[in-house]
Structure 1
């Protein structure tokens, strides 16, 4: 009976897509689905926030049975994320950095979905302007503040999480620190079928990803790009 219900639900979603709830900003998860249209997949999401708001992976976990790794540096959002998604996926409270990052902690400025790091070179034209714009999108009950996040290369977290060596999706939205994160992965040990990356300097990102075996698949909007494993 459970199997029949799963089949009915799956068929219903395909026949009635208007009844399916997506969560990603600008329907990014809905745009991803044609590339990842299967159940029981795996993901890694950085910039996980509370695990639901503007999440690119919550739909896949909730509706398609996926599991994965969620990483969020702000402690209060980490706790929300753990509460909402920790029963199925592994949740970490860290900021991901490149291999060889010298410090245990990295300074972060909280700005909800637009929080940024201070101790890294970022792909942002103007950090101060970015934070000023972030204020416009924060709730009246929120304030911006600085805090120290525990810095770890993503590779270290993947090993601790016992992630598979082949992951179906990496979702990377870290407000300009994308290259720093990518430089903290052993790309021979861990591969991703697809990488969804928010970036502001596509040439620079493509240049690096080309050296580790990924090619641009498509642009899902003006700042979010999908890369495919080319090995």
Structure 2
């Protein structure tokens, strides 16, 4: 019990540090030498932003490792789920992916829009039952604070995925499971909004030394296509995806066309009568031919 309590307190401390979204270095080698790399020093703080910072910039990758990744819970620590009797929390997406991958074990996932790490999670079953590892991405600090208490066996990060091929900072609307990037200016004091660091998916994968993603779950309330357009598919092997199409300003045909041009095909569409799922299931053509 003492070990569990100490672990939980440690993770909460890590989360508090991560959710500051900035690193505090003062006038040292980072702030003095890297202003030209898109580092924005403000009152001895910095954030990563701007097209000057390339997705594979070593300074960016090092910064992600040091300040934006929370490690997985130790396997000796039990899960702390609110509804542990629900075996598969997904709304159908995970079942389709398991069907494609034939219940693959020990894969690697990325779940963007991870919410609290349990509710309608598309990856929890794979982690618990099939031994997968992965990365949970959740931008809303309120959701992320709940996520880390679930003791997931995956890395987690309190950021949003960039909609541009470089780091950026946005105003994020906090709205439980439908929070999203807003149109408000960064720094504006608006109730229910918080400024959030966004990082490219490719940069996160480089920070984790991951080149193969067996399943990418993407649900970011209307910015799915923009996120997909940042991914260098020639440099990372993403084998299957579930991508929400319900909220996008660009219609689902645009999303489908983009992925087909990148070498994917639609395996299925997953829908739910209460709109709890409206997703394409994409599979890589070279790996899963018709």
What TM-score, normalized by structure 2, do the two folds share? 0.60
Instruction: Name the counterpart of 1:98.
Output: 163
Residues 1:104 and 1:202: Cα distance change in structure 2 (over 3 Å): closer
| 2:260 aligns with one of 178, 192, 210 | 210
Q: Equivalent residue for 1:38?
A: 104
SS, match of residue 189 in structure 1: coil
In the alignment, the residues of structure 2 paired with residue 184 and residue 66 of structure 1 have an alpha-carbon distance, to the nearest angstrom, of 25
1:208 Cα deviation after fit: 1.1
Q: 1:170 aligns with which of 216, 227, 244?
A: 216
SS in 1 for 2:239: strand
Give 1:29 shift.
2.3
Partner in structure 2 of residue 28 of structure 1 = 93
* Displaced runs of 4 or more, over 4 A: none
Larger radius of gyration: 2
Partner SS for 2:193: strand
1:164-203 matches, cutoff 5 A: 165-200=211-246, 201-203=251-253
Give 3-state SS (helix, strand or coil) of 2:214's partner.
strand
Answer whether contact 2:240 2:284 (CA < 8 A) is retained.
Answer: yes
Q: Is the 8 A contact 1:69 1:161 kept in 2?
A: no
- Correspondence list, 1:1-231, <5 A: 21-24=87-90, 26-36=91-101, 37-86=103-152, 88-100=153-165, 104-119=168-183, 145-163=192-210, 165-200=211-246, 201-221=251-271, 223-231=278-286
- Please give the alpha-carbon distance, in whole angstroms, between the structure 2 residues aligned to 1:197 and 1:158: 18
CA spacing shift, 1:182–1:119, aligned 2, 3 Å:
farther
Aligned counterparts of 1:194 and 1:32: Cα–Cα separation in 2: 7
Root mean square deviation of aligned Cα: 2.1
Instruction: Tell me how far 1:100 sits from its aligned partner.
Output: 4.3
1:197 and 1:100, CA in 2 relative to 1: closer, same or farther beyond 3 A? closer
Deviations 1:5-36 (A, max 9, x none): xxxxxxxxxxxxxx871111x34323432223
Unaligned stretches of 5+ in structure 1?
A: 1-18, 121-143
Checking the alignment, whether the CA contact within 8 Å between 1:198 and 1:224 is kept in structure 2 is yes
What is the deviation of 1:205? Answer: 0.3
Greater share of residues in helix: 1
In structure 2, runs of 5+ residues without a counterpart are: 1-84, 185-190, 273-277
- Is the 2:162–2:168 Cα contact (8 Å) retained in structure 1? no
Residue 14 of structure 1 corresponds to which residue in structure 2?
none
Deviation at 1:167, TM superposition (A): 1.3
